[in-house]
């Protein structure tokens, strides 16, 4: 086994183990560690494929932002006297159905797009990425931004609505 495939295998194992820990751990702080491992492994995948910028952005936004936000939320919930709050879900079947559906959707959408082998011609440097984002891809970039903004506004509206009712 070459070093490259060994690195890839280790990243894959960490990602899968982290994902499983996120789903199956009953203790929320262990769940967060699993999610952190998964997100770091995904960042590792990006770097592995040569997309360093994406890898560092993943680290910045997901590990530094999303994960910390979730840990924050966990810490603000009520803690049982014997230890950490335990997570009891009542939506096992529907959650599996949604996750499975999403998986099938992503696989079918990407199966024709992602090449089977590494094509280093696809991977561009930071300058090229910036030029693409602010040039031909500007509309897509802005649309994604607007979508996120709309999601944010929706959350605010939902939260406020809860107060008034």
Partner 1 sequence: MSGLIWGAIYGLAAGMVISLAAFIGVWGERKIAGRIQLRYGPQELGPFGLLQTGADTLKLLLKEDITPAAVDVRIFRVAPLIVFAPAAMSLAVIPYAYGFAPIDTGVGVLFFVAVPAISVVGVLLAGWSSRNTYATLGGLRAAAQMISYELPRTLSVLPVVLLAGSMRPLDIMDAWQWWWIPLTFIGFIVYFIASLAEINRVPFDLPEAEAELVAGPFADYSGIRWAIFAMAEYGGLVAASLFGAAVFFGGYLGVPGALGVIVFVLKALVIALLMLWVSWTFPRMRPDQLMATAWKVLTPMALIQLVLVGAVISWL
Q: Which residues bind partner 1 (CB under 8 A)?
A: 3, 27, 29-30, 32-33, 36, 52-53, 56-57, 59-60, 63-65, 67-68, 71-72, 74-75, 83-84, 125-127
* Residue 93 beta carbon to partner 1: minimum distance, rounded to whole angstroms: 31
Q: Which two tokens stand for residue 118?
A: 């590494």
Nearer to partner 1, 60 or 103 (CB): 60
Nearer to partner 1, 72 or 92 (CB): 72
* Residue 100 beta carbon to partner 1: minimum distance, rounded to whole angstroms: 29
Phi-psi region of 50 (alpha: psi -120 to 50; beta: other; left: phi over 0): left
Q: Which two tokens stand for residue 4?
A: 């490259």
* Residue 21 beta carbon to partner 1: minimum distance, rounded to whole angstroms: 12
């Amino acid at each position: 086994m070459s070093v490259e495939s060994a690195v890839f295998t280790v990243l894959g194992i960490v990602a899968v183990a982290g994902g499983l820990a996120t789903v199956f751990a009953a203790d929320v702080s262990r769940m967060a560690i699993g999610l952190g491992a998964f997100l770091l492994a995904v960042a590792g995948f990006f770097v592995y494929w040569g997309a360093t910028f994406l890898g560092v952005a993943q680290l910045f936004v997901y590990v530094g932002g999303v994960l910390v936000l979730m840990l924050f939320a966990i810490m603000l919930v009520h803690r049982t006297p014997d230890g950490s709050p335990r997570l009891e879900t009542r939506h096992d079947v529907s959650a599996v159905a949604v996750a499975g559906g999403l998986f099938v959707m992503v696989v079918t959408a990407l199966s024709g797009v992602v090449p089977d082998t590494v094509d280093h011609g696809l991977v561009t440097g930071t300058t090229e990425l910036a030029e693409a984002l602010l040039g031909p891809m500007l509309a897509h970039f802005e649309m994604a931004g607007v979508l996120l903004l709309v999601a944010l506004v929706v959350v605010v509206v939902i939260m406020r609505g809860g107060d008034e009712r």
